[in-house]
Structure 1
Amino acid sequence: SAFDILLGGERLDKDARRELMKFRTYCEEYINLEELTGCRLELAPLYSHVSAERMADEERCRLGLKSEPIRDIFSLMELNGCRVIRQPIPEESQISGVFIHLEEKEASFALINSTLSPGQQVFTAAHEYGHYLKDRSEDAIIDNPDIFVDEFLSLYHPREKFAQVFAAQFLMPPSKVSEIIDKDFRSGKLRFENVICLKRYFGVSFFDMLRTLKKLEYLSTSKFEEYLQLDPDFHEEALFGNLEDERGPKRRKGKPVVSDRFRALAIKAFQRKKISAEKLSGLLNQDKDKLVLLLAKS
């Protein structure tokens, strides 16, 4: 099976293999809940013979997003057939994200490492969505952190650069970036706080915003390097109030974040008497008596 191949990888350490086993269990539970409730997701179109930029534009058009920012990439992925779990994976395991398509079940899943900063999780999710739209007929994919570093990207399979370009264009449409800069930052040179404004608007990490602005030639290489040395967290908190803690350590000890849809299906299965209260409690990682009491009132 696809998971047997995935778990058979020689480079996986003990922690990585353990976390991927948890991911496998989640996928099995998710599919079971869909079967119990009769709620299945349709697959999005499979793109081929198209550039990464074109795929991003066409997918935005298909979803009716125009050039507006994506407020919840995780829910967007779920509604379009790619189920998601955010799960804490130790840094030593070298896993940022995983994509797998289970052909026999016609079901796709993405795992996002929840120890990454919120912005990094968003970009990783968009990267895995790119694999879902383009590469789901291939083997499962494990994306390590180096793939998200431009200097190392060329060392990997061309599909990784494709997914990177797709993610940037999908999350930060160049037309919208240009529109905001032309409208609000007409002074010519982009100041550091302007970059933070843009990063907050598109809901991405400071680095991903910076890299996009350099690619679109709104920042010179020297200015890019200069801004890279500054602390965006300190400036964002001081100038704008903290939107989200970008540094990450507070999330390292967290529990897996299952999707809203997974939770809704579990509740539906319980209400239809397809699963027990004990099972529901385990799936949602919540106190059984509290759940039963709450659901009795709904």
Structure 2
Amino acid sequence: MGTRRALLELGPETFAAEARQRLGLGVQPVWDMVALMEEEGIFVVEAPFESNNLFGAFTYSQEIGSCVLINTHCTKGRQTTTAAHEYCHSLKDREMVKAIVCGRHNENEEVERYAYAFARHFLMPREGVLQVLDDLGSLSGGIDEKTVIHLRWHFRVSYSVALLHLMQLGFVKRSDYDRLKDIGSVWSLDRRLGYNPDEDRKEELKQDEEPLRRPRPLVELAVRSYENERITLSRFAEVMGIDRVAAADFLEEVGVPLRLSGQEEMVGESRLA
């Protein structure tokens, strides 16, 4: 127990390095985070959600263990980062955060910032980044948008995440970061450099399809998050794949009181800003 407590107090880079060492990953890229999590006994649900704000979710219970949701209506690079992010929650936060919906609405919360930093370091270890930059001749010749593209495809992350990580590691100055983040079409540059951007495309939503049947751990996560005022009714409906009316009916059926419109607005301002 003492060892686990000490690990939980580590910074995200060191914590990620400890996790990679335990798994025997060295500096090699992890292209299939879902397979890794499933091998670790984590229950993973992959499904498309029509939302630009919902990336994933995590819940934990003693009976079921860790359960993770990945929104596949995001690019493959985003999905990989989301999976590593949720993996951090499973390793570090399962005793503190029993349920959390992850997206743009709460990305500035401390627990989320840590998980995002962990994800970057877990997917792109410092030594692995150094190796790629050295192979590209970028350590002495400077880093440009082509370098970022090669790095992103080596680790299978998004261009924005690869560039942010380079800045956080000190390989790119803030001024260069601001210049490199606006390069127009990333996929056009992918293609020019010999990569297939179709491999990074998100899963499209299917029309006239029955709503996805949510597994019990995910339903529990959504209900608990609404009950604890971490998400609004609209966000609950998104996670469940139903409209607001059906979401309200569901919550009433399971005995969760609905919030008044004023209370919903307060949650939206405090939690979803």
TM-score of the superposition, structure 2-length normalised?
0.68
Amino acid in structure 2 at the alignment position of 1:241: Y
Contact kept, 8 Å, 2:167 with 2:173, in 1: the verdict is yes
Match of 2:179 in 1: 226
Amino acid in structure 2 at the alignment position of 1:91: S
1:132 aligned onto 2:90? yes
Q: CA deviation at 1:235?
A: 0.6
Aligned-partner Cα distance in 2 for 1:219–1:48: 29
Question: Aligned to 1:131, what secondary structure does the other structure show?
Answer: helix
Write out aligned runs for 1:134-283 (5 A). 134-138=92-96, 139-148=98-107, 153=108, 156=109, 158-186=110-138, 187-230=140-183, 231-248=185-202, 251-253=204-206
Match of 1:60 in 2: 20
Question: Aligned to 1:253, what secondary structure does the other structure show?
Answer: coil
Question: Aligned to 1:85, what secondary structure does the other structure show?
Answer: strand
Which stretch shifts more, 217-226 or 80-89?
217-226
1:95 aligned onto 2:54? yes
Aligned-partner Cα distance in 1 for 2:198–2:168: 25
Structure 1 regions of 5+ residues with no counterpart? 1-44, 259-298
Amino acid in structure 1 at the alignment position of 2:196: N
Aligned-partner Cα distance in 2 for 1:225–1:247: 25
Contact kept, 8 Å, 1:77 with 1:84, in 2: the verdict is yes
Contact kept, 8 Å, 1:233 with 1:245, in 2: the verdict is no
Amino acid in structure 2 at the alignment position of 1:211: L
Contact kept, 8 Å, 1:118 with 1:244, in 2: the verdict is no
Q: CA deviation at 1:179?
A: 2.0
Question: Aligned to 2:176, what secondary structure does the other structure show?
Answer: helix
Write out aligned runs for 1:22-37 (5 A). none
Q: CA deviation at 1:109?
A: 0.7
Question: Aligned to 1:240, what secondary structure does the other structure show?
Answer: coil
Contact kept, 8 Å, 1:95 with 1:144, in 2: the verdict is yes
Q: CA deviation at 1:251?
A: 2.3
Alignment coverage as a number of residue pairs: 203
Residues 188-224 of structure 1, C-alpha deviations (whole Å, 9 max, x = no match): 2112111111100011111110100111222222222
Question: Aligned to 2:58, what secondary structure does the other structure show?
Answer: strand
Q: RMSD of the alignment, in Å?
A: 2.3
Structure 2 regions of 5+ residues with no counterpart? 215-273
Change in Cα spacing, 1:223 to 1:146, as seen in structure 2 (3 Å) is farther
Q: CA deviation at 1:84?
A: 0.9
Q: CA deviation at 1:48?
A: 2.2
Change in Cα spacing, 1:210 to 1:72, as seen in structure 2 (3 Å) is same
Aligned-partner Cα distance in 2 for 1:246–1:109: 25
- Identity in percent: 32
Aligned-partner Cα distance in 2 for 1:147–1:164: 12
Residues 218-253 of structure 1, C-alpha deviations (whole Å, 9 max, x = no match): 2222222222211211110122131544453x5233
Q: CA deviation at 1:59?
A: 0.7
Q: CA deviation at 1:102?
A: 1.9
Aligned-partner Cα distance in 2 for 1:193–1:48: 37
Question: Aligned to 1:104, what secondary structure does the other structure show?
Answer: coil
Residues 57-96 of structure 1, C-alpha deviations (whole Å, 9 max, x = no match): 111011000111112111001101212111111217x421
1:117 to 71, 75, 91: 75
Amino acid in structure 2 at the alignment position of 1:97: G
Change in Cα spacing, 1:77 to 1:180, as seen in structure 2 (3 Å) is same
TM-score of the superposition, structure 1-length normalised?
0.63
Match of 2:29 in 1: 69
